[in-house]
Structure formats: C-alpha cells, structure tokens
Amino acid sequence: MSIIEALIQGIVQGLTEFLPVSSSGHLSLYQHFTGLSGESGLMFSIILHVGTLVAVFGAFYRLIWDLILEFFRMIRDIFTGKFSFKNRNAERNMIFMIILALVPLAIIYFLLGDVYKAVSSDNDIMVEGFCFLLTATLLFLADRKTNGTKTNGQITPRDALVIGTLQAVAPLPGVSRSGSTIASGLMCGLSKETAVAFSFILGIPAILGGSVMELKDVTSADLNLPISVILVGLITSAVVGFLSIKMVQWLLKSDRFKIFAIYTLILGIIVIGVSTYEYISGSPIVFAFGNAVA
C-alpha cells in the first residue's frame, strides 16, 4: 500500500465514519473497486478506526472528561453507600444509558457476528447497495422529526435500547453507525445536540471493541505495513474525522441533514445497478490508478 492510497483511505474513513453515510460501506466499495481487500485491508481498517477515536475525544473532550469524573464519583458513592439511581444527575444518567445501549450490540453481534464478517469480506457489493438504502430510509424518517428537546439527563432506558438496537445493525457495510444512532435518537425525541453527542460517544466503546475483536484475525504478514503508511492513515482519519463531526453538528443545526439521505439513496441505487452488471457480465469492475479494467 502506498502513501497516496493510505491518504485516500484516511480521508474516506474520516469523512464517512461520522458523516451518516457508512464508513464500512465506502471502504468496502473502495477495496472492491481497487482490489485492496484481504488481511492487509483489515489491518489498515483497524488503524483508521483508531484515528477516528482520536477525533471523537478531540471533539467532545469536555463532555467525555465530565463523564469520566462522574464515573469515578459513582464508584465512590457505591462503596460509601451514597449511591442513588433515582437521583442521578445528567452525566450519571448518560453513563447508564450508554451502558444500556451497548447491550443490544453485544447480544446481536454475538449472534450474527459471523454473518457480518462474511458480508464484509465477500466479493459482492449487492448487500452494500441495499444497506445504503436502509441508511437513506432512516435519515428520511429522522428528517421528519428534528424538534426533540430531551437532554443528556432526560434520555430514558427505552431511548437507549432503541438507539442501541439500531447501532447493532451498523456493522453491516452500508448501514451508517452515526446515521442510524443519530436518526433513532432524533425519532426518540432527543435534541439535535444530545443526539449527536450521545451517538458519537456511544461509538467509542463500539468502535474500540470492534477493533480489538478484529485483532485476533490479524496475521504476521499484516505487520509489514510501512510506518509511514500507518502514520498517514492514522493522522488523516483523525483530522478529517474531527472536521466531519463539526460538519455534522452544523448541518443538523441548519436543517440540512436531508442531504445525506438523498446521497445514500442515490449511492444505494448505483451500487445495486453496478452489482447487477457485474453479476450478469461475470466480471468485476476494478480501477487501477484511474483506469477501469475487467
């Protein structure tokens, strides 16, 4: 893998991890059309996800720091007998709701993890096309309900389970994790700011856990990636990811979120069309340095 290829994938990851258009779906398409699939793709994907985690910490460092401090206060209250679930503050409520939202992901991924991996690693992009259409549907539905008022302290267990269940579908390439969680949060009545913050912070354990689980599939050959390629991918995905988070916040506040629904709808239709052509022709389309070859 060259530095240019690492730069391109870092930009794609940083943009699509947080923009509600599916990073896994776009990376799957990129690897499909360039032939950069296999174990080296898996290893580099983990590196790119670490970069996006850095972006989340950079964008929400104040709230994350408050949650960390509140977590240790909660532990102290438990051991000193002062803990009260009923009288929890906004930060403590958010901690509980994040934990609760992770339950559906753990259960569903345990049951369907092999299916997710099989879909992500096959040579067919038909599933990606239909998953893009699912993302578009969720975003169109959320666009109809963007006047929620719930803050961090008002997120309910029902809200958390709904958001967590939608996140559990996100490992499918083409289903946007941020799109599904933000959309479900808005449909549950969360304010725009709360929906974005809850979505991205909820993604920290999800992305981290997914990356750690993928490490077991990495072989010694994967460690041959040049350090320059690793650094370029890591830094690029972090910087572009941070800017993407800010873009999502701005677009949502300015009621321009529907643009992502239109984009994923068009992309899904195109991908299904291309996949159908590849199936009929029996020859995949591969782009090498800008030239299409059969």
Burial 167-186 (b: 16+ CB within 10 A, else e): bbbbbbbbbbbbbbbbbbbb
Q: Up-side HSE of residue 13: CA atoms within 13 Å toward CB? A: 29
Range(s) of the domain holding residue 248: 3-293
List the structure tokens of 153: 């302290």
| Number of compact structural domains in the chain | 1
Rounded to whole angstroms, the Cα distance separating 259 from 88 reads 38
pLDDT 10s per residue in the chain (294 long)?
A: 778 888 888 888 888 888 898 877 887 887 777 766 544 566 777 888 889 999 999 999 999 999 999 999 999 998 988 888 888 899 999 999 999 999 998 898 888 877 877 777 667 789 899 999 999 999 998 888 767 889 999 999 999 999 999 999 888 888 998 999 999 999 999 999 999 999 999 989 878 877 777 776 666 656 677 788 889 989 999 999 999 999 998 988 888 888 999 999 999 999 999 999 888 887 777 665 444 444
pTM for the structure as a whole: 0.84
